[in-house]
Structure formats: C-alpha cells, structure tokens
Amino acid sequence: MNTRDLRAARARYCYDEAVRWKPEFRKEITQRLKGLPVQMRSQGLANTLALLMADDKFHVAVLAEILARWLLEKSPLRPLPETGGPAHWGAPRRLLDACVKARRIEYAWAQIEAIALMDQLKLFAGALAASED
C-alpha cells in the first residue's frame, strides 16, 4: 500500500465517523479535537489516550474509541500488534495496552498515524459543524 492509499483510507474513516455524530455532540467533539494533535505531539499517544479514557464525558469517549479502532482494526497498515488482552476490554484499553508494550519503532509509528488521524478528523469535524450553523 502506498501513502496515497493510506491517506484515502484514513480520510474515508474520519469522514464516516464524523457524519455519524449526533448534532448535539458535534460541537463538543469538534472543540475537544482542536487541541488533540498538539497534545499528542507534546504528551505522546499513550498519555493522551489515558487522559481521554479517564474523562467521563461521552464526546471524549467517542474520540478514544475512534482512535483505538483505527490503529488496531481499521487502518490498512496497523502499526501496533495487539497484545491479546481479555476479550471484555474495549478498543481504547486494548490500544493503551499495546502502546505500553510496543517496541519503540512501533510506538513511534502509531503516534505518527494517530496524529495524522486526529488532524484529518479535526478538518472534517470543523467542516461539518460549520455547515450546521
């Protein structure tokens, strides 16, 4: 797979996720997304994911789920191997486990992909929120 295909797959995934958000949550999700790529760059993928998981707001849980499903299940190139956690763990918990147990190169690749995903999602979320105003 080339980078153009990966970018197209990422864009499709982000768009499909963003259009599913109910209008009453779209603004909150979009607002939280604004600082997420920068937060990931400064704090790292694992720390950012842990903070998202610790937040009890629905719109934040949505972002953790989107991120985890992309990196573990939906991305054509999966940067992290799953570590085989219990079946009852949700995708965000499995991703956190994979991040903590990953080799340095796997983690770095996952973080780069996560930042690209959040940047793309932020663009679509902003466009969709603006079209609803």
pLDDT in tens, 69-80: 999 999 998 888
Q: Please answer whether residues 73 and 91 qualify as being in contact, where contact means their C-beta atoms are separated by less than 8 angstroms.
A: yes
pTM: 0.91
3: pLDDT strictly greater than 80 = no
Domain ranges of the chain: 3-132
- Give, for 76, the enclosing helix (H) or strand (E): none
132 or 37, higher pLDDT: 37
Asked if 15 and 121 touch (Cβ cutoff 8 Å), the reply is no
Superfamily the domain 3-132 falls into? AF1862-like domain (1.10.520.30)
For residue 89, give every residue at least 6 positions away whose Cβ sits within 8 Å of its Cβ, in sequence order, or none: 97
Pick from 16, 18, 43: nearest CA to 123: 18
Percent of the chain past pLDDT 70, that is, above it, reads 96
